[in-house]
Amino acid sequence: VWTSCAPDFGARSVLDRFQQIEPVVLFTVDGYRYGGKEHDRTETVAELRRELPTLRAVVHIPLLGTDAPEGALAWAALTSADTEPVFEQVPFDHPLWVLYSSGTTGLPKAIVQSQGGILLEHFKQLGLHCDLGPEDRFFWYTST
């Protein structure tokens, strides 16, 4: 089960979401580029690490090229391991990811979506509404 927040979120916005779900692994970026500028997020990541006591691991992805902070696993080290991924079959209603409401009327509310539910939703949306078939190519851009 996974969740995400955009790299440009402030620490409080991420914590309002992630403290509800008690994550055990945190994938982070050191920053991002926008409008021709680099935006460093190392202090935000440090705050998240301090405020999320359930974390057992932090994975550092160096979009701006910085080294992994102490105690974090470098993405390159993680992906260079000579192991095969493990795939586990799960039930239809097994959680896939957690999304959140906007939080305009209080804390953002966690919305859990299931493996099978998302599969059916995408089949409906792409197959029926968008009329995509086996020979079509499709690109779905998202910011995060």
Q: What local confidence, expressed as pLDDT, does residue 48 receive?
A: 98
Is pLDDT above 70 for 87?
Answer: yes
- What single DSSP character describes residue 22? -
Q: What is the pTM of this model?
A: 0.86
Left (φ > 0), alpha (ψ -120 to 50) or beta: where does 93 sit?
alpha
How far apart are the two ends of the chain, measured CA to CA in Å?
A: 17
Domains and CATH numbers, the chain: 2-129 (3.40.50.980)
Rounded distance, CA 78 to CA 118, Å? 28
- Residue 69's Cβ-side half-sphere holds a number of Cα atoms within 13 Å equal to 15
Is pLDDT above 70 for 144?
Answer: no
